[in-house]
Amino acid sequence: MMRSLFTEFVALVRKTGTLIVQPRMGFDDPALMRRGLLAVRSAGVTAIGTVTLDSYTRQGEHDRAQMAVASGLRLNGYPLVAHGAETTARMLGGVIGAGFPIQVRHGSPFPEQIFRVMLDAGVDASEGGPVSYCLPYSRMPLRESAIAWSKAARLLAEQRERGVVCHLESFGGCMLGQLCPPSLLVALSVLECLFFQEHGVPSVSASYAQQTHQRQDAQALMALRRLCAEYLTDVDWHVVLYTFMGQFPESVTGAEQLIRESARLAAATRTERLIVKTVAEAHRIPSIEENTAALRLAHDAAREQAGPASPPSAGADSEIYHQAKVLVEEVRGLSPSLTQALPAAFERGLLDVPYCLHPDNRNRTRTVIGADGLQWSDTGAMPIPAGLGGGRIGSRRLLADLSFHRRRLDPAPHANFPSRAR
Does residue 414 carry a pLDDT above 90? no
Per-residue pLDDT band for 413 (boundaries 50, 70, 90) equals low
227-232 average pLDDT score: 98
90-100 average pLDDT score: 95
Comparing 116-130, 261-275, 276-290, 346-360, the range with the smallest average pLDDT is 276-290
* Whole-structure pTM value: 0.93
Strands (E), 291-371: 366-370
CA dist 98 and 100 (Å) reads 6
**CB count, 10 Å around CB of 249?**
26
Pure H helices in 121-244:
142-158, 182-198, 214-231
First to last CA, the chain: 45
pLDDT tens digits, one per residue of 29-81:
999 999 999 999 999 999 999 999 999 999 999 999 999 999 999 999 999 99
**CB count, 10 Å around CB of 381?**
12
For domain 5-304, which architecture applies? Answer: Alpha-Beta Barrel (3.20)
Sequence-distant (6+) residues with CB within 8 A of 200 are: 153, 154, 157, 158
CA dist 143 and 341 (Å) reads 10
Q: What is the pLDDT of residue 149?
A: 98
- 37 alpha carbon, distance to own chain's centre: 19
DSSP 8-class letter at 105: E
How large is the C-alpha radius of gyration of the chain?
20
Comparing 121-135, 165-179, 378-392, the range with the smallest average pLDDT is 378-392
Does residue 305 carry a pLDDT above 60? yes
